[in-house]
Structure formats: C-alpha cells, structure tokens
Structure 1
Amino acid sequence: MQGKGTAQRMIEHSYVNSMSRVGHLLDWLPAPLGSIMLLLLAAGIALLFSRVITDALPRLPGLRRIQFIHAIIARLRTTIRNFLMIIAASAALQATTGFTPATMTFLEQAFLCLFILNLGFGIIKTFRLLTDQYLNRITAKEHADDITARSHQTQIRVLRRLIEISFGVLTVASSLMVFHSVQKFGVSLFASAGAASLIVGLSARPALSNLIAGIQIAVTQPIRMEDMLIPNGDWAWVEEINATYVVLRTWDRRRYIVPISYFLENPFQNWTHSSPSLICSLFLWLDYQTPVERLREIYFEELAKCPDWDQDKTSIGCQIADTNAQVISIRLIAGAADANGMWNLGCDIRERMLRRLRTEMPECLPRGRTAIVSGTPDQSPWPDNLVAPPVNRPQDGPYHGPDMPASPPAAMPGRS
C-alpha cells in the first residue's frame, strides 16, 4: 500500500511539474487569465485522451464481441470524459499562480462538488444499465405475457426509480455540503427542524404520498407492466410506471397520465391481473323463427376457423340470453389469449355468423310485424276513419290512363 501511495504521489508530482512548465509558457498573459487557460488546456488534453480510450477500448480484439462492454461504454462515455476532465483540471490547479487564496479555495470546492456529482450520477447510470439488461432478458423470453415476468418488470421499474431519486438527492446534498456556506445553512436548518419539517411535510405531501404509493404498488402489485385496465370506460395498457405517476396507452395511441396513488384509492378494472386470457361475449338479435340448434352448429363450425380462438372448448357457448316482443337475444361466448385477441375474435365471429345467416337462413334476420284488426267483429280490418279520402282526378288529361276509371269513384259511405 505504501509503495502504491508513493507511486501515486510521484505521478501527481510529475503531472504538476509538467503543468507548471506549460504555465511558464503563458507568462505573457495576465496571471489570472494564464491560470484559467492552463486549467482549460488540462481539461482539453484530458478530453482528447478520454476520447481515445472510449473509442479504442471497444475495438480491442478481446472485447470486440462483448456486447456488455459496448453498452456500458456507450452509456458512460460522457461520464468518463467528465471524470477525467475534472481530475486533470483539479490536479493542474496546484500549478497555477494567478489565483488568490480565496479563489483557490472556491475552485477546489467546486471541483470536488463536480467530482461528487459526476460520480453519483455515474453510479445511477450504471445501476440503470444493469437493470435494463435484466429487463431485456425478461422481455426476450418466448412467453411475453407471463405474469411472473411482468411482475418482475413492475417491481424493478418502480423500485429502480425510487432508488435513483433517493440516491440522486443524497448525491446533490453531499456535493453541496462541500461548501462551508451550505454547511452553515444545514446546521441552522437542523436547529429549526420542527418548523421546517412541518412546512416541508405539508408542501411535499402529494409527492410523498405518491412515492409511498409507488412502494405499495411494487410490493402488492395491483397493476403491472402491460396490464389491461379500464379507466374512464377506455381500454388502456400500462405502458410506464414511474415513481409518482403511471402512463396508460389506449388502443388509439392516446396516453393517460394518472397519479400512482389513484390505483390505491379508487376501484378500477384489471382484466389481466391473474391471467391474460379473456372470454369474448357478443350478442345477436334474431327472429323468433330462428332454429337455435342449427344456429349452434353454424357457430361451432365458424368458431373453429377463427385464428384468435384459444381452442378451449370448455369456455364456448351459444344460448338464448333474452327475449322481447320482437326478437330473441343469442349470446355467443369463446375464449381468447389476450385482450387484443378477444376484440378481434368478437369482430371475426360477428362477420362470419352474419354471412352464414344471410346466405343460409335469411328468415332468422330480425323483421318488423304489423297487424291491422277491426275493433269489433262486424267491422272491416280497415276502418273507414283510417282510410285517406279519395282523390278526385279529372276525366281527361295527362293523368287519365287506360286503367283509370272514366269517372271519379263513388263517394264512400258517410262522405259527400
């Protein structure tokens, strides 16, 4: 360990001496400007060096085929470059001579603050990369609608967002505590913690309630990724679960942005909570003359041709569900693998059944019946008061044809 520390000090001393020699070349500039140019030069050299590393490392023969190396370099390329630039500039700060002691102290604190921020958010990016790799392995499975896989996706996405927010807040707080003024403010804030905690608690109550609801969603899982929900009467799939809100995607590509606490405080329908399979139910309104047995045979024949049917014969049926004065209601049910398949199956069955009914049993289609009867047995079915008065046509003229009587018809009884 001592040898390693000695080597590090020697490298740092050599780097500072090299920056000092470069700084002497800038003595013709004002001292503060020369020091600033020296820091920018050190950061620029580190940027070029980092570009060489990040561009050449994935092309090495042993690492060329490792996809994870390519992914982590692509995700952390900016973080690595910022990391090397901050280290190079902060180390070159010792070789500057144009800053006052107060400015030197401020720059040291600023570089340390940037280092902590870059390190913290680099860890967050690495954590997100690892979780994304795991999620990609889950979604790449053959059974994409597996409930266990969707449960893991939900837990990882929600908990990852909560961990990222918590670690991000700690990173920012740690970086700001480097400055002495912020430390003094923190001490005074802790001195008045009672009033401050009350104010912060009241103002942050919605955000905190959604964060707590997110933890409950991840643990109890009333909703999962790609679950089929019914909010406000619309079909919607869970597209994204964040720490404080949920994004729902409707069938026509609209998006609902719903606070995550809504799913703990309000009832809603989840069609895929236990299983993605659903039962399609549709109704046909037909005439009383419909032979139900023959209709049932036609239904079974056409259902076997539907590609969206899940082939579960225990969930099919064709029954008279209701009747009224004009028609009978036939309910047809069949199973489908998911919500999309259920919708397509219902449309397909309607089309097939109507085509067969029109061609083979047109008498089954609904029709209207009208019967005119007399009020008493001695009256005609067409009472005189329901018949329109006759039209008196001229004997000669364009309306007089061979089938038209030559004289106006006799007046009906009771009329003049």
Structure 2
Amino acid sequence: MSENFIGWLSYVTGWAPAWSITTTMLVAAAIVAVIFHGVALKILTAVFSRRAIYVQTLLRRTCRLTRVITTFAACTLVLQAAPLSEEARSLWSSILVAVLFAIAGWIAISAVHIASDVYLARFRIDIPDNLRARKHVTQIRILRRVADTTIVLLALGAGLMTFESVRQYGISIFASAGAAGLVLGFAARPVLENLIAGIQIAVTQPIRIDDAVVVEGEWGWIEEITGTYVVIRIWDWRRLVVPLSYFIQNPFTNWTRESASIIGTVFLHADYTLPVEELRAYLSELVTEQPLWDGKVSVVQVTNATERTIEIRALVSARTSPEAWDLRCNVREKLVAWIRETHPGSLPQVRSSPAGYGRTHRDDAIGSVVAESAGDAD
C-alpha cells in the first residue's frame, strides 16, 4: 500500500508543484485531526459525565492544548510523506521543532496553573480572618507568574536556536554573551528587575492580596499582584498601578501586615472645659452598639494641647480595614454630635482675654459709653 501511495505522489508531483501538494496535505491532516479530537473529547466527556468531576475540569481546561497537540502530531506524520526537497524538509523540520518547544512550554504553563488552582481551592480570602489565606494566595500567584515568564523565555530561546539564522538570539536569551546579549540584557533589565522583585515579594511577603497600604500618599487595598506591577484599589475606587520593584526599593505603610484586624483612629479638637471622663464612658457605650466593632480596643486619650484646644484621640478596632474605615466615620459622627448636644460650650472657641478680666473690662467699657451718651444728651 505504501508503494501505491508513493507512486500516486510521484504521479501528482509530475504536474502539481510540491508546495501546493504539501499545503493540501497539511490542511487535510489538520482537518482530520480536529475532527478526531472533537469526537474523542465528546466520548471522554460522556464517559466521565457522572463521576470524576476533576477529570471533566481537566478535559475542559486542556481542550485547546490537546487539539493543538493532535494537529501537530498529524502534520508531523504527513510531512514525512510529503514530496519535499532536502532544503525544504530541513526548514520544515526546524519549524516543527520550534512548534514542539512552544507546545512543551504551553504544557508546562498549563500544568503550573492547574496545580496552583488546585492548591488554592482550599483557601478563601472573602472571610474576615483571612491572613493565612492571603499569605498563600499571594505566594502562589506571584510564583506562578514568575514561572510563566521563565517558561516563556526558555521556550522562546529553545525555539530560536532551531533556526540557523537567528540561533545567536536564542543563545543570548540563555546566556548574555556578546553584543546581542548585552542589548537584550539592557532591554530586558526592567523585566528582570521586576521578576527578581516578584520572587522576593513571594518569599518575604511585605505585601499580600487585600492588604491595606499607604503608597505615595494614597490609602487603599492590594487588589492584584502581577509579574511586573501591583494594582492598588484606592478608597475612592481609583486604581494606583505601581511596579513590583517599588515595594523592594521604597518605604510604604502596611496596616494589615500581621493580621486582618486593624485599629482605626479618630481625632477631635475640643475646648479645655470638655469632661474627658464622660466622653470616655460614652465611647464605651457607643461601640457596643456598633456591629463593626470587634470588641477589642476602645480608648479615649488626650494626645495634645494647644493654646486654644485639646486634641482627643479615640481608638477603635475592627475585623478588616474596610470595616475599620466605616467604624471610624460612625464614631466620629456620634462623638461630635454628643459634644454638641451635651456640652456645647466645650466646642472649640477663641478667647481674647481671661474670663474674669474680660467681664470687668467689658463692663467698664459699657459704662463709659453710657456716660458719654448721657452727657451729650444734656
């Protein structure tokens, strides 16, 4: 049968160009491979329809990858029988090897993603006490992106090395040697810098997903950590995008480094006549009525005194940073209302002179004005 097939190819080659025959064979092989893959996928899905849900998930997530692998295998077999010259066959061999490296990289990336998703399925970050979950989620997500970048670079370098004309660029990706390597090294410096910073952040974890931070004077939460930058969701829904290397090279504030719980601060300014003990007792009653309070911290302190007012600091704790923000606003509003209603004279005010002296001087001034008016009338 093989002799008949080769004879048929020889006959066709006599009147049709080799490249058109090869193209037709590759297209036919790809169509057959896609059909075969679709049928096989349906059969496997039907077999595991009532059990092994993980197998169904695996089939669904690797559908495109397995289709490419099937097509690649079919085209490789067809090219073995294609009527090609030695030069064309060598070129196609290089292309197939490069595609093989690309498929291998795709397989590695898919394996990393599936393994990381399976590992992270046990952690939830949508609960109040989520410090342990945020720690693992941050580590896995950063390391996964680092692994993706590394795999892509290795696959790209290996693929370039299969072609003689660009082999030096593939070598430069693996080892920065020669002028081309230096150019690529300088061009890739920001990428490599952020790549190394990502590894450092994954290991040391100065920031984690959903941490409350203050960066460049903006307060917000860590929303996303990619392979090159960090997205911070600011309290007013803006997004601050910062390079990964920033968190290694610059100081910043992390409010939830050790725990998801956070202490909120409320500052007030009042007159010296304010009874602080009554305010402290009122705060103790107030926080018990606040569902956002976690029951741990409730403190009132006089932290400063100026020539006009005293500065009062109220500390209240909450389970998460968003709840702490809302709790601070509620407590501030209630404390100001309490001072205004129960001790209106203790609101901040300006005095021009001591109380006693002011009354005497004012009375004398009024008496002088009255006497002068009476004299003018006479």
Structure 2 length-normalised TM: 0.83
Match of 1:91 among 53, 77, 81: 77
Q: Would the aligned equivalents of 2:161 and 2:168 in 1 still touch at CA under 8 Å?
A: no
Q: Which amino acid aligns with 2:46?
A: R
Partner of 1:284: 268
Partner of 2:94: 109
Q: Which residues of structure 2 form unaligned runs of 5+?
A: none
Residue 270 of structure 1: how far off its partner (Å): 0.9
Distance across 2 between alignment mates of 1:302 and 1:52: 67
**Cα pair distance change 1:86/1:194, threshold 3 Å:** closer
Distance across 2 between alignment mates of 1:18 and 1:87: 23
Match of 1:155 among 123, 136, 139: 139
Aligned with 1:290: secondary structure? coil
Match of 1:320 among 289, 302, 307: 302
Partner of 1:404: none
Deviations 1:218-258 (A, max 9, x none): 22222222221101221122222233322222122222221
More deviation in 375-384 or 123-132? Answer: 375-384
Q: Which amino acid aligns with 2:242?
A: V
Partner of 1:124: 109
Distance across 2 between alignment mates of 1:198 and 1:186: 13
Q: Would the aligned equivalents of 2:172 and 2:184 in 1 still touch at CA under 8 Å?
A: no
Partner of 2:324: 342
Q: Would the aligned equivalents of 1:374 and 1:383 in 2 still touch at CA under 8 Å?
A: no
Deviations 1:163-206 (A, max 9, x none): 22122211122223223434477689999935555444444333
Q: Which amino acid aligns with 1:84?
A: T
Q: Give the aligned CA root-mean-square deviation in angstroms.
A: 3.8
Matched, 1:329 2:311: yes
Distance across 2 between alignment mates of 1:319 and 1:294: 12
Taking the TM superposition and a 5 Å limit, the aligned residue runs for 1:184-333 are 193-312=177-296, 315-333=297-315
Distance across 2 between alignment mates of 1:52 and 1:256: 48
Residue 374 of structure 1: how far off its partner (Å): 9.6
Partner of 1:58: 45
Aligned with 1:92: secondary structure? helix
Deviations 1:101-155 (A, max 9, x none): 3223222322232122122212212211211221232227x85643333222222
Aligned with 2:267: secondary structure? strand
How many residues are matched? 372
Higher helix share goes to which structure? 2
Q: Which amino acid aligns with 1:211?
A: L
**Cα pair distance change 1:145/1:23, threshold 3 Å:** farther
Distance across 1 between alignment mates of 2:253 and 2:268: 26
Aligned with 2:39: secondary structure? helix
Q: Would the aligned equivalents of 1:189 and 1:196 in 2 still touch at CA under 8 Å?
A: no
Taking the TM superposition and a 5 Å limit, the aligned residue runs for 1:23-62 are 30-32=16-18, 33-60=20-47, 62=48
Aligned with 2:210: secondary structure? coil
Distance across 2 between alignment mates of 1:189 and 1:319: 61
Aligned with 1:283: secondary structure? strand
Looking at CA atoms only, which structure, 1 or 2, has the larger radius of gyration?
Answer: 1
Q: Which amino acid aligns with 1:102?
A: E
Distance across 2 between alignment mates of 1:186 and 1:101: 24
Partner of 1:137: 122
Percent identical across equivalent pairs?
34
**Cα pair distance change 1:41/1:243, threshold 3 Å:** same
**Cα pair distance change 1:22/1:345, threshold 3 Å:** farther
Q: Would the aligned equivalents of 1:72 and 1:126 in 2 still touch at CA under 8 Å?
A: no
Matched, 1:174 2:158: yes
Q: Which amino acid aligns with 2:69?
A: F
**Cα pair distance change 1:74/1:292, threshold 3 Å:** same
Q: Would the aligned equivalents of 1:277 and 1:338 in 2 still touch at CA under 8 Å?
A: yes
Distance across 2 between alignment mates of 1:113 and 1:264: 37
**Cα pair distance change 1:374/1:273, threshold 3 Å:** closer
Structure 1 length-normalised TM: 0.76
Distance across 1 between alignment mates of 2:243 and 2:175: 35
Q: Which amino acid aligns with 1:179?
A: F
Aligned with 2:156: secondary structure? helix
**Cα pair distance change 1:365/1:103, threshold 3 Å:** same
Distance across 1 between alignment mates of 2:375 and 2:150: 100
More deviation in 143-152 or 163-172? Answer: 143-152
Deviations 1:61-82 (A, max 9, x none): x454433223322222111111
Aligned with 2:313: secondary structure? strand
More deviation in 227-236 or 197-206? Answer: 197-206
Q: Which residues of structure 1 form unaligned runs of 5+?
A: 1-13, 391-408
Q: Which amino acid aligns with 1:83?
A: I
Residue 207 of structure 1: how far off its partner (Å): 2.9
Match of 2:62 among 73, 76, 98: 76
Q: Would the aligned equivalents of 1:17 and 1:95 in 2 still touch at CA under 8 Å?
A: no
